[in-house]
Amino acid sequence: MTTARYGVRPHFWRVMGGAAVVGLLAGAACVVYLAVEHVVTGLLWGEEGTPLGLFTGSLVGVLVVLAAGALVGWVRHRTGLTGPDPDFITEMIEGEVPLRRGARYGLLGLISLVGGGSVGPEAPLGTLGGGIGTAVGRRYERREEATEDLTFAGISGVFGALGTFPFAGPIMAWEAHHDRWHEAPHRMLPGIVWATTALAVLYHLIGTPFLSVYDLGDSDLRVWWIGLAVVLGVAGAALGAV
């Protein structure tokens, strides 16, 4: 299916509207997730987060890491999570992430992150966002194609919110699965809508992406610019159609 043909299908605007609405939820989920990570990490490791050299840490730090690892194993056992962790890039292309599985892996990622065994929140939040998209698609659209589109958009939304770059998720999927991308290039559209909406939520509430997980330097962005861009985009599309 070409992107042009996809744009005239009856469910096109429902998918785009669903992407915007759930993008709000994805942005809020990122805020809550990162806020919990920030608070718990501060309690366990201190606010400064000073890097430690070899054999310079305290016994408490060792115990925290061991406890986090044990807790991850216990959660895996209790929730029935077996096999390797999900690959969110593959999930974007396959278009299906059960919400319960996404939530469970989100919890595992949070425990690993605050326990010192993870380098970032991208993968667990990506899977969680995909789960939200799958759930919305199954509940409201009841079409396999729409569910796949919203799953893709859910993962894109998380990366748009976290990295202030709505194209990040789609580009990674495009690069990693370029042989299969031609089957559904239209997914870029709801993916960007969701990602931009999620970015507006996250940036407006905390003023910076990633909270304090990463230091990306000073940034200058006004959330109302995004709304202005939407208006200009609609005007440009109307002129193009004429």
State pLDDT tens for residues 13-53: 777 777 777 777 777 887 888 888 888 888 887 766 565 56
Cα 13 to Cα 18: distance, rounded to the nearest angstrom: 8
Residue whose structure tokens are 């893709």: 152
Handedness of CA 230, 169, 94, 112 (dihedral sign): negative
Long-range contacts of 235-241 (CB under 8 A, 24+ apart): none
- pTM, two decimals, is 0.72
| Whether 220 contacts 202, CB under 8 Å | no
Which of these, 34, 22, 28, 214, lies nearest to 124 by C-alpha position? 34
Q: pLDDT tens-digit profile of 81-130? A: 777 776 777 777 777 888 888 888 888 888 888 887 776 777 788 888 88
Cα 211 to Cα 34: distance, rounded to the nearest angstrom: 6
Number of Cα atoms under 13 Å in the Cβ half of residue 214: 10
